[in-house]
Amino acid sequence: FDHTITGGGTVGHPANAIRPYIVQSKIFDAADDNLTANDVIKVIDLPDNSIVLGGCLDVLEAGGSSVTFDVGISTDIDAFCDGVDGNADAIYNFHPTAAGINTVIATDAIQVKILGADSAVVRFRVIALIADIGDPTAMVQTAAVQTGV
């Protein structure tokens, strides 16, 4: 059986290939929002049928020695970063793994959870590489059902 998609594009590159895009969140300043330990902040919207291919948490202003970050989505808050140090101005790359969830069928958001007592002084942003994984053959896809257009 040949179940490949035909047509378009240059040799080896179909016209209907997935086209990733980069999104940067607004800079979040905990001091402006009265943030407290264990608060969860939604930073980047994820449309339905999306995959997060990569990204990072960019800590622009460190918190105290007890601050750590989790970054993920609503169903797995630490899917991309788990307990990374918030006591340093640093960039932490996402590490999606087989155990983590980096695809969404229904609309969701990349979220940051800040843990620790010194969380009121941190500033950060999130940068993500996202792609639409809806059916490239122009089929309509809902939660678990595909139908032809």
User: Residue 119 in 3-state DSSP?
Assistant: helix
The whole-number pLDDT of residue 147 equals 47
Dist CA 123 CA 132 (whole Å): 29
Question: Of 137, 149, 145, nearest to 5 (Cα)?
Answer: 137
Per-residue pLDDT of the chain (149 residues; tens, 9 = 90+): 555 555 555 555 556 667 889 999 999 988 888 777 788 999 999 998 899 999 999 999 988 778 899 999 998 999 999 999 888 899 999 987 656 578 888 899 999 998 886 677 789 999 999 998 876 554 444 445 444 44
What is the pTM assigned to this prediction?
0.79
* Burial (CB count <10 Å: 0-12, 13-18, 19+), residue 67: buried
